[in-house]
Structure 1
Amino acid sequence: MNYQIARNFVYRNARPLDIARWKFLFENGSQEDVLKALAEYQNEDGGFAHALEPDSWNPNSSPIQTWVATEIISEIKLKNKNHPIIQGILRYLGSGDNFDGHTWFNTITSNNDYPHAAWWDYQPTQSVPYNPTASLIGFLLTFTEVSDPLYSLACRLAKEAYLYFKQIFPTDSMSTATCFVNLYEYLKEAAIRDLIDMQEFCSLLQQQITYMIEYDTEKWKTEYICKQSQFIKTKSSEFYMMNKDICEFECEFISNNQNSDGTWNINWTWDRYPEEWHISKNWWKSDWIIKNIKFYQEFCSDSINIHE
């Protein structure tokens, strides 16, 4: 794998946010620079928008865009509950906007007014009700104070979410499974063990991950499939050892399938808005470069030198 051409692509094509992420992850860049770039996507209501999730260009705050912000916050390991970005997200999630009392909406009506991928079309009935709700619940439990009514709400929602997960287990939705893995990781990190049966949750997730992974690796090059990197981010993950061999294969896959411009193939497309998709696809390429090199750095045996 050629790190230098990957770096060149990011510096020449990525959004300022993703350049800041690259610097933070691989070049000793600052957390604050990532947060400054991330704040540009946050609206006054505390929610996120403006194509932070590159497949939706809606400028109105939505749960899914806000979830993307929480993923970046997790990536840079921000722990300060009083940070303005964190407080804004809590304000948005606690406002009741795009929330039915049990789940935050997967899509919102105004999505249809702006360029977006077909899967972000507004649907009156949610087909994947716990994407991103399960992950947002974990965020609330991590960043709200126990005395806050929002914490009590999150406790109730966590119990509801887990009951739902057991009812639909195993789910065929990769995004839903990802959000439940996130919920588990949030609960484990916050040492919250009295809301649900964590041992049972872990066991079910282990089975869910095995169920979701596409083991026909020939499909990895051309199809939108589920790889274990969707769920397993570090070797300390409880789901790593049972998937160690396929993680090692993904290292080989990353190394052997880099394009000449430093990118990896984006295996999906939009069926509308071709001009906007061309831009979003470039943003996704930079995001995938970052995610692939993060994975390689964590799981592959040879050391990484970004400046090679």
Structure 2
Amino acid sequence: MKKLSKQAFEEIRIWIYRNARQFEIALWQYYFEKGSKETVLSALLLYQNDDGGFGNTFEPDSWNPNSSPYTTLHAVSKLNDISFMDKNHPIIQGIFRFIESGMHSDDDGWLFSIPTNDDYPHAPWWTYDSEANKYENIGVSAGLACFILKFADKDSIIYQRALTIANRLIDRLHTPGKYGEMGVGGYLALKDILFQLGMADKFDLEFLSSTVKKLVNDSMERDTSKWGLYGKKPSDFIKSPDSEFYRGNEEILQRELNYIIDSRTKNGVWGITWSWFENNEKYPKEYAISENWWKADVAIEKVRLLRNFDMIE
């Protein structure tokens, strides 16, 4: 079995300290150097707006300073990753304030792209597109519904709205169609939270579970020659040996872990598998900065993954 060497780990650590933002440095310290959650929260707070939502390039591909549902969900995912559960914390309360405002939402949930994205440097997929929002919103809506169901008062209006949105999302699975970039991951998160909260009396969790299992397995790119391109690799769904999807996918996951070790750049970290395409030339400086920020995020996730599978010396 291959392992990330001590020297490689040290090279990654040095790269992070030399190149990453304050937030990613705080995450690195939390995961690998016994850093505190408080330091992560302090760094995260820098990206939260007065309305409680997140913007300000926290999602590096969108330089919109205004709060958006997706960037707010990006912050929620980071809070989930560090198992932050204090619903009375100002960051959590701010997120609720933004969600409850109804900004950038409709009857089906929350928008993936928002109009003011177009006023700032951004990757092309963040250009406001009302038609794309009809399916790209699935992942965002599922993720924010999970947040609400996990933390909100069951008697609140927003909790009841989250139940309605969750039902609509599940109903969409009966008619196959586009699920968007984040849809499968969103459905997986929704399935997990509904099981965790014991909500079998309110939802058809057997149908949801079987459908999500098929979507996940169908989404995994198993052609190793395509792993250098953008796409869903096994590790997008299998984060540890405890994953429900690990059994039956052990071999392909191990091949990906080996690939991760082999594909790291000399004395550095991993590249990203996407670009801003036509917007690279329009916003060359911003894209170069975005790329570097993402490389720090990707490095942290890959090292976490390797550690979860005991592949670090």
Q: What range is the shorter-chain TM-score in?
A: over 0.9
Is the Cα contact below 8 Å between 2:138 and 2:180 reproduced in 1? Answer: no
CA–CA separation in structure 1 for the residues paired with 2:68 and 2:215: 27
Instruction: Give the 3 Å change call, closer, same or farther, for CA 132–95 of structure 1 in structure 2.
Output: same
Deviation at 1:197?
1.9
Q: Deviations over 1:236-289 (max 9, x none)?
A: 222221322222112111111110132112111112211100000000100010
Q: How many residues align?
A: 301
CA–CA separation in structure 2 for the residues paired with 1:274 and 1:168: 38
Q: Deviations over 1:165-217 (max 9, x none)?
A: 33226x56342111111212222333333332222222111111111111110
The aligned amino acid for 2:294 is W
CA–CA separation in structure 1 for the residues paired with 2:49 and 2:17: 26
Is the Cα contact below 8 Å between 1:174 and 1:226 reproduced in 2? Answer: no
Q: Structure 2 stretches of 5 or more lacking a match?
A: none
CA–CA separation in structure 1 for the residues paired with 2:193 and 2:267: 36
Is the Cα contact below 8 Å between 2:121 and 2:286 reproduced in 1? Answer: yes
Q: Which residue of 2 aligns with 1:209?
A: 216
Matches within 5 A, 1:122-201: 122-125=128-131, 126=133, 127-168=135-176, 171=178, 173-201=180-208
Decide which moves more: 242-251 or 148-157. Answer: 242-251
Is the Cα contact below 8 Å between 1:112 and 1:121 reproduced in 2? Answer: yes
Q: Deviations over 1:71-95 (max 9, x none)?
A: 1010110011111111111111111
Q: Deviations over 1:101-128 (max 9, x none)?
A: 2210111110000000000000122242
What is the aligned-residue RMSD (CA, Å)? Answer: 1.5
How high is the sequence identity, in percent, across the aligned residues? 38
The aligned amino acid for 2:143 is S
Is the Cα contact below 8 Å between 2:138 and 2:179 reproduced in 1? Answer: no
Q: Which residue of 1 aligns with 2:89?
A: 83
Q: Which residue of 2 aligns with 1:9?
A: 15
TM-score w.r.t. the length of structure 2 is 0.92
CA–CA separation in structure 2 for the residues paired with 1:30 and 1:254: 28
CA–CA separation in structure 2 for the residues paired with 1:8 and 1:122: 38
Q: Which residue of 2 aligns with 1:281?
A: 291
Q: Which residue of 1 aligns with 2:112?
A: 106
Are 1:62 and 2:68 matched, yes or no?
yes
The aligned amino acid for 1:224 is Y
TM-score w.r.t. the length of structure 1 is 0.93
Deviation at 1:152?
1.1
Q: Structure 1 stretches of 5 or more lacking a match?
A: none
Are 1:265 and 2:275 matched, yes or no?
no
Q: Which residue of 2 aligns with 1:23?
A: 29
CA–CA separation in structure 1 for the residues paired with 2:201 and 2:304: 33
Q: Which residue of 2 aligns with 1:297?
A: 307
